[in-house]
Amino acid sequence: MVKVTYVAADGTRTDVDAEPGSNVMQTALDNDVDGIVGECGGAMMCATCHCYVDEDWTGATGARNDGEDDMLDCAADEVKPSSRLSCQIKLTEALDGLVVHLPEEQA
Amino acid sequence: MPLAPVDETVSIGDLVRDPYPIYRRMRAETPVVRVPSVKRTFLTKAAHTKMVKDDVVRFSSNDPTTPMEPAFRAHTLMRKDGEEHRRERMAMQKAFTPKVIKTNWAQLYRDITDRYLDRLPRGETVDLYSEICAPVSARILTHILGLEGASDEEMMRWSQQLIDGAGNFGWDPKLFEITDKANDEMDVHIAACAERLRAEPNDSALSLMVNAADPIPWSQIVANIKIAIGGGINEPRDAMATIVYGLLTNPDQLEEVRRQEAWGAAFEEGIRWVAPIQASSRLVMEDTEIGGIDIPKGDIVMSIQASANRDEELFEEGEDYHVFRDKNPHQAFGTGPHHCAGAHIARRTVGEIMMPELFERFPNMSLPDPEAIVWHGFGFRGPLSMPVTLN
Ligand code: HEM
Ligand code: FES
């Protein structure tokens, strides 16, 4: 199991146990975490799964995937250097304890 | 495993008039079912419609048996898969972002909505569908796409003719004569607009595509502008008319939507309740299985998002319009790589501009005869008129 913490725009924290191999978007949906819509199911076509990776974790999550920059431009909320599409962050044991912050707006 | 059961009882006419009781029965009794009158295998459960659209390896959008190709005189991005699809899609996607709308267009869209609302007489009964929902959607889309100079009438007619052609499963040559003529007109207008936008670029879809450093072929620029014409007018129009109906027939909800300014939620619920695009086809690429039913390679499955949006497993009282749902994981914009390119635009124009402006202008609007509204359509669905009394 990989622990992931979602911090909502209002500061509410939700901890969930994720399946390694899943991704940050799908894990949020599977655990009823609000604030991630993930409407295209991870096809990188909707930008409704935007998140900000906590500064302690940007190294571990690595660089954005091919094409992710372009789709992030379609996000509703401000894009920062720590912005990622959460469907593109695959969960591995190395990300156990990951913290992501959610934007106010997704759609 | 068994093959899909066959439902001989359902006709296209039944589906066009009112598919919802049929889908409810199918979800309960035969969630995966062959419907000979439509020559498709219907998928009516949310888990299946989503799975099929998310899995492009087993279920391709490239269905060569649709009349879409002759109707658009092109192989459009809606019927492509993989990298080729992504490249064409991303060529115009940046014109459809929330940021571009907010910074460049929102005020213009408000002004357009106001201008059409100004024309309405107070104290009379008017058809909002033809006076507001359709022409405002058309006018806004003209700017988004970069097609200034086209009239409302042209935009609405082209859109309807493309849709009728793409749905011409009877292969009636007369309908293709109509789309041929519309294509000729659009080709001329799009070329003229491209010329202007090369000299004076802006943030419209056509401008982005023609001025790109590495543009996609001209044939595809034209084809995909046409997809956006076909996809960008009738759906917001039908969505808006449906939401007006939902709110006016549920005054307590309208009151609460006003109090909380929950226009976004009212929009989401409207498109869940009656999805403007009700069904999409996918071609089965290999022998496979859905919900315990064998699906042979070469079959065409229909993802019925209209039914998924009322699936009892996800929605309580799904047959009714309820704005204040806890969760609303509808599939009205589809899912997977072909997820609606205009979803952000529709949410912002209809949900954040057109709906609030309308109800602010006419706070005591009423629907004199809800029973008289005729709902119509199988592939695309909405009311055919929305006569309201304004004051
Ligand atoms: C409430 C309004 C709307 C609804 C409910 C809607 C719904 C949909 C759906 C369900 C699809 C996917 C079809 C499939 O899976 O085969 C789609 C695709 C598409 N829509 Fe929308 N749409 C709306 C508004 C718009 C607007 C305003 C535009 C134009 C800017 C637009 C442009 C497109 C395009 C270009 C595609 C094709 C995407 C692709 O194949 O990659 N739509 N829409
Ligand atoms: S789920 Fe759509 S881009 Fe991530």
Residue given tokens 């003719």 in the structure block: B161
Q: Is residue A10 situated within a structural domain?
A: yes
Average pLDDT value for residue range B248-269: 98
Q: Is residue A28 situated within a structural domain?
A: yes
Does the structure show a pLDDT above 80 at B239? Answer: yes
Q: How confident is the model at residue B61 (pLDDT cuts 50, 70, 90)?
A: very high
- Give the pLDDT score at B379: 92
B332 CB within 6 A, ligand 1 = yes
Q: Which residue of B has its CA nearest to A33?
A: B327
Nearest to B321 by CA among B238, B237, B233, B252: B252
CATH assignment at residue A39: 3.10.20.30
Q: Is residue A6 situated within a structural domain?
A: yes
Q: Is residue A107 situated within a structural domain?
A: no
Beta strands in chain B (DSSP E): 32-35, 40-43, 59-60, 125-127, 280-284, 288-290, 293-295, 300-303, 375-376, 382-383, 387-389
Q: What is the pLDDT of residues A52-107, one digit of tens each?
A: 999 999 999 999 999 999 999 999 999 999 999 999 999 999 999 999 999 999 98
Please indicate whether, in this complex, the C-beta atoms of B335 and A74 are within 8 angstroms of each other.
no
CB B120 within 8 A of CB B131: yes
> Residues 247 to 276 of B: which have CB under 8 A from any A CB?
264
Domain holding A33, by residue range, is 2-101
Q: How far is CA B228 from CA B14, B72, B146, B197, B231, in A?
A: 29, 12, 11, 18, 5
> The tokens of B12 are what?
């296209």
One-letter amino acid at B276 equals: P
CATH tag for B12-389 (out of 1.10.630.10, 3.40.50.9100, 1.10.540.10, 3.40.50.460): 1.10.630.10
A42 CB within 6 A, ligand 2 = yes
Nearest to B104 by CA among B114, B94, B113: B94
A85 CB within 6 A, ligand 2 = yes
Q: Is residue A81 situated within a structural domain?
A: yes
Does the structure show a pLDDT above 80 at B64? Answer: no
Does the structure show a pLDDT above 90 at B103? Answer: no
Query: Residue B257 C-alpha to ligand 1 middle, in angstroms?
Result: 26
Q: What is the pLDDT of residues B150-191, one digit of tens each?
A: 999 999 999 999 999 998 878 899 999 999 999 999 999 999
Number of domains forming the structure of chain A = 1
- Give the pLDDT score at B391: 78
Does residue B344 belong to the interface with chain A, where contact is any CB pair within 8 Å?
yes
Q: Is residue A106 situated within a structural domain?
A: no
